[in-house]
Chains A and B, each alone.
Chain A
Amino acid sequence: MLLEAQGVTKAFGDFWAVAGADLAVEEGEIVGLIGPNGAGKSTFFNCLAGDMQPTSGRILFNGVDVTRASPEAHARAGIGRTFQVPATFEDMSVLDNVTVGAFLRHPQRNDAREHARRIVEMTGLRPEQAGRSLGTPGRKRLGIARVLATEPRLLLLDEALAGLTPRELQEAIALVRRIHESGVTIVIVEHIMEVIMTLTRRVLVFNQGRVIASGTPEEVVRDDAVIEAYLGRGARSHSRASGNP
């Protein structure tokens, strides 16, 4: 098992954002995390990435306990992440942005530069373009390129494909697929069902800090608890009556 989260909780005062979540990801999988707004998936995601420390529970990566490890240690271990709002290094060029990530495995400047160039080429960005001049699609792509440069074994994508036009979305899906084919395991938080349905084979649905359903994308969209979580209590009976998920 590459990633294992066991009974992870995260409390902010009396409020339990994550109330005992489990997740197990095999090497080579693409797993989707979905759920309505405020379901706790981003908090859970931040715990997986080391950005937040869980209140209780354990997170194992490749058999090593990383529950209390820093984000830097996560990156060194091989866990990479993107951000919902891409945190571009504005004053740096695209190539420089990616070089920051490349330095993790290539401490020498020339090696890091060369590795960064390969990643930039693969993600279809212009190396000399200034970070600040990128639009949303470019920033999302740069976020992925930067983390890819750290050569992660596990990639955590936090709504990395949100806010794109249909054409940009197709390109981004193709990019994620290429990354996966190169041997990177992926956990993806996404609201766009097209992304989940196209890319993932297994989905976990979050609601009120808990995993309420898991299975293939086709299974979870028909799950009563999922329909109720997204559409409210009345929707389940309506869905049954109409015969639609």
Chain B
Amino acid sequence: MKYFLSPRVGVCVLAALLLLFPIVFSDAFYRDIGVTFLLAAISASAWNIVGGYAGQVSVGHSMFFGLGAYTPLLFYTLWGWPPLAGVPIGMLLAIGLAVVIGMPTFRLTGHYFSMATIAVAELIRIFTGTWSLVGGAIGLQGPAVARGWWDLTFRSELPYYYIFLAVLAVVLLTTAAVERRRFGFYLQAIKASERAARSLGVPVRLTKLNALALSAAFTSAAGSLYVIKTGFIDPDSAFGILISVQMLIVAALGGAGTLFGPLIGALILVPLQTAANTWFGGGGSGLTFIIYGGIIVLIARFEPGGLCDLWRRFATRIWRRAHAA
């Protein structure tokens, strides 16, 4: 029982399962679900840094995702650069945008940050749809045929799966490092009480800004991964509000402010979405919104701490019983 509940064993088992998944399930359909799951986990883990740990709920994170998605294809379209070259530039642009948004909004308290993120994401979406340089409403297309390995255009889902898995590992390892350091302690203190954190010398605005910048960089990387795999982007699939909402819900379902919460959220939500799309086909396109709405209500009403919190309580109870026996 002791070993079963040990976090280290849990992490090893999870890593093994993720590594073996595309080998055990070699069907393209399952591998595609695996890739979608990883992308959702990366995006939600990135959101989690600022939304979960720091408690600054962004509902417009698609702006960073979209920047990361558009930049590689824009450079490819303009100068024929491999999309991979645009990834770090997209991340830098996302950091710049995070600073521009965070500087004024983090001066305010309450929900202004959330409102500002929605507004900026929507403005960018509308603007992108009318800007011919980035393809307007039609969007941009990547290389149809790979010119070399650096274009990262593969027929199989398998290389994408392992690339995405590697990026997820980087995001999670970074988050774990953040959790253990002063930065992580400060984020949690800010989430609990900004006033108290400030009285202990925590530089609240700077810490929130750093969290947003880090989160934006990873979200941008997620957008780049998405576009490298699909080879196409348009304003709605880059900056649509549903993308932001999905990050938020995946993290909240699993447990916002926990390391593996977003992973667990993605593990439940992605198959659920795929199943809904399969069962209802094109007629069920609005079902995603209903699922999201339902999950928000359930989390808010019954488990604000998400499934990780539920598991922690359950594990503690079992641990105590095992100890008492």
Residues of A in contact with B (beta carbons under 8 Å apart)? 49, 51, 70-72, 74-76, 80-81, 83, 87-92, 96, 99-101, 103-104, 107, 109, 112, 146-147, 149-150
Contact for A100 among B180, B200, B203, B257, CB less than 8 A: B200
22 of the cross-chain contacts (CB-CB < 8 Å) are: A51-B199, A71-B199, A72-B198, A72-B201, A72-B203, A75-B198, A76-B201, A83-B195, A87-B192, A89-B188, A89-B193, A91-B192, A91-B257, A92-B185, A92-B188, A100-B202, A101-B200, A103-B185, A104-B200, A104-B201, A109-B181, A112-B182
Q: Which of A71, A89, A103 contacts B198 (CB under 8 A)?
A: A71
- Identify the 3 closest CB pairs spanning chains A and B, nearest first: A75-B201, A87-B196, A104-B201
Greatest chain B CB density within 10 A among A88, A89, A92 is at A89
Which listed residue (A76, A83, A91) contacts B188, Cβ 8 A? A91
Chain A, Cβ-Cβ closest to B206: A72
Task: Kindly provide the distance from the CB of B30 to the nearest chain A CB, expressed in whole angstroms.
Answer: 37
Q: Which residues of chain B from 225 to 252 have any CB-CB distance to chain A below 8 Å in the complex? A: none
Contact A83 B196 (CB under 8 A): yes
Q: Is B186 among interface residues, defined by CB-CB distance under 8 A?
A: yes
| Given A92-B192, A103-B182, A103-B185, 8 further pairs, Cβ under 8 A | A72-B203, A72-B204, A83-B199, A87-B193, A89-B188, A103-B201, A104-B200, A147-B200
Output the least CB separation between B247 and chain A (Å).
21
In the assembled complex, which residues on chain B have CB atoms less than 8 Å from the CB atom of A100? 185-186, 188-189, 197, 200, 202
User: For B202, what are the chain A residues with a Cβ–Cβ distance below 8 Å?
Assistant: 72, 100
- How many contacts A-B (CB < 8 Å)? 75
**Complex contact A75–B200 (CB within 8 A):** yes
Q: Assess the B192–A146 pair: CB atoms within 8 A.
A: no
B residues in contact with A74, CB < 8 Å: 199
Interface size bracket, B side: 20 to 34
- Residues from chain A with a CB closer than 8 A to the CB of B204 are 72
List of B residues within 8 angstroms of A49 by Cβ: 199
The minimal Cβ–Cβ distance linking B24 to chain A, given in whole angstroms, is 37
B244 to chain A minimum Cβ distance, whole angstroms, is 24
Q: Which listed residue (A75, A80, A109) contacts B180, Cβ 8 A?
A: A109
A149 partner residues in chain B, CB cutoff 8 A: 200
Question: Could you say which of A76, A81, A88 contacts B192, with CB atoms under 8 Å apart?
Answer: A88
- Chain B residues 115-170 with CB under 8 Å of chain A are none
Instruction: Give the nearest-CB partner of B257 in chain A.
Output: A91
Contacts of A107 in B (CB 8 A): 182
A139: min CB distance to chain B, Å: 11
Contacts of A76 in B (CB 8 A): 201
Q: Specify which of B185, B186, B192, B196 lies most central, judged by the most chain A CB atoms within 10 Å of its CB.
A: B196
- B186 near A90 with CB under 8 A, answer no
Most chain B CB within 10 A, of A51, A100, A101, is at: A100
- Taking CB atoms, residues of chain B closer than 8 Å to A99 are 185
B200 contacts across to A, CB distance below 8 A: 75, 80, 100-101, 104, 146-147, 149-150
Assembly CA distance A99 to B199 (angstroms): 14
Q: From A81, A101, A150, name the one whose CB has the most chain B CB atoms within 10 angstroms.
A: A101
Chain A residues with CB below 8 A from B203, complex form = 72
Query: With a CB–CB cut-off of 8 A, which chain A residues contact B180?
Result: 109
